[in-house]
């Protein structure tokens, strides 16, 4: 008989390793629970009503930008609008909220990539976040397209790509396993051809070596899902603080239960009790 699991603490984004299938751990307080092992078992999350900022530990009635209180949301560079829209980066203007943070996180090599989560999409991430970013999006395949010197430049390249390809995932289709087969190598060549003039312009403005086309191989990813939901409904701890059901799979940052799905990352900073009931 398996040991009982009953832990209490703040939720964090699930750490994941790119095994086959992806190996997840549920982060509750200091505990890291190998959640793949719980597929097929009944689990329960109880939210006690307390949310604490993941930066300053302040109690907050509402979480902003996945885990921050409002004061931190307003002051931290990690919560600035340029995180979601990197082409709006203003580091070079001297107005970054936290220049040292910007040096570590934005003024470093980034990857512009194509991924297949629910169809073809373009995205960017720090070079050190490959393949973590792809796993978080539930991609079944992903391929690097460009390596660039800064987040700002990656954002400008992404803007050029968005004229020809989506930059968002249909999360419901992703969770249904409804993903078309794509040849990402061919798609990369097609998109690069379409944005060739944009890339030449960016090189002229930012330097020839600031942006490199890469011929790296795609990476396939699989996920521990026993049953794909035919209809996707989501649990919201703010509205229903008790979530219970049989764990049928994990994909992206979602637990897939027979009663609905829950985006663990959305509730970062929420203090919960997590139990395995059988």
Q: What is the pLDDT of residues 125-154, one digit of tens each?
A: 999 999 999 999 999 999 999 999 999 999
Q: Which two tokens stand for residue 139?
A: 């991609």
Position 2 scores a pLDDT of 63
Please give the share of the chain, as a percent, with pLDDT higher than 70: 99
Answer yes or no: do 168 and 240 share one domain: no
Three-state SS at 169: coil
8-20: average pLDDT: 97
Which residues are 122's β-sheet partners?
114
Position 1 scores a pLDDT of 46
Res 56 pLDDT > 60: yes
Answer yes or no: do 165 and 235 share one domain: no
In a domain, 75, yes or no: no
Q: What is the DSSP letter of 225?
A: B
Answer yes or no: do 213 and 231 share one domain: no
First to last CA, the chain: 10
Q: Domain boundary residue among 199, 219, 239?
A: 219
Q: Annotate 212-221 with b (16+ C-beta within 10 A) or e (fewer).
A: eeeeeebbeb
Q: How far is CA 61 from CA 49, 58, 67, in A?
A: 9, 10, 11
In a domain, 76, yes or no: no
Nearby residues of 230 by Cβ (< 8 Å), 6 or more positions away: 176
Nearby residues of 108 by Cβ (< 8 Å), 6 or more positions away: 126, 127, 128, 150, 151
How far is Cα 190 from Cα 184, in angstroms, rounded to an integer? 10
pLDDT band, residue 178 (cuts 50/70/90): confident
CA neighbor of 113 nearest in space, from 130, 135, 128: 130
Domain ranges, residue 110: 81-219
Answer yes or no: do 211 and 229 share one domain: no
Measured at the CA of 185, the angle between CA 180 and CA 190, to 5 degrees, comes to 90
Q: What is the pTM (predicted TM-score) of this model?
A: 0.94
227-238: average pLDDT: 96
Q: Which two tokens stand for residue 168?
A: 């968002």
* Number of CB atoms found within 10 A of residue 51's CB: 24
Answer yes or no: do 35 and 160 share one domain: no
Nearby residues of 30 by Cβ (< 8 Å), 6 or more positions away: 9
Q: How many domains does the chain have?
A: 2
Rounded to 10 deg, the angle between the 196-206 and 151-161 helix axes is 160
How far is Cα 117 from Cα 140, in angstroms, rounded to an integer? 6
In a domain, 229, yes or no: yes
């Amino acid at each position: 008989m398996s040991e009982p699991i009953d832990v209490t603490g703040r939720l964090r984004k699930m750490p994941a390793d790119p095994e086959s299938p992806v190996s997840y751990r549920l982060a509750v307080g200091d505990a890291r629970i190998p959640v793949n092992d719980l597929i097929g078992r009944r689990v329960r999350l109880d939210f006690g009503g307390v949310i604490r900022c993941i930066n300053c530990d302040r109690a907050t009635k509402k979480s902003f930008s996945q885990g921050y209180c409002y004061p931190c949301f307003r002051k931290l560079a990690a919560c600035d609008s340029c995180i979601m829209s990197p082409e709006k980066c203003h580091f070079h203007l001297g107005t970054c909220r936290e220049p040292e943070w910007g040096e570590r996180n934005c003024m470093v090599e980034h990857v512009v990539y194509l991924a297949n989560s629910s169809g073809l999409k373009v995205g960017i991430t720090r070079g050190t976040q490959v393949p973590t970013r792809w796993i978080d999006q539930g991609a079944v395949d992903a391929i690097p397209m460009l390596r660039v010197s800064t987040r700002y430049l990656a954002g400008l390249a992404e803007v050029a790509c968005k004229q020809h390809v989506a930059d968002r995932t249909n999360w419901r289709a992703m969770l249904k396993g409804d993903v078309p087969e794509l040849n990402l190598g061919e798609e990369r060549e097609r998109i690069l051809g379409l944005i060739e003039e944009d890339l030449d312009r960016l090189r002229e403005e930012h330097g020839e070596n600031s942006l490199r086309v890469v011929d790296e191989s795609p990476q396939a990813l699989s996920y521990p899902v026993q049953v794909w939901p035919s209809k996707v409904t989501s649990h919201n701890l703010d509205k229903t603080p008790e979530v219970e059901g049989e764990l049928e799979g994990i994909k992206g940052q979602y637990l897939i239960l027979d009663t609905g799905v829950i985006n663990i990352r959305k509730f970062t900073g929420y203090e919960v009790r997590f139990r395995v009931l059988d």
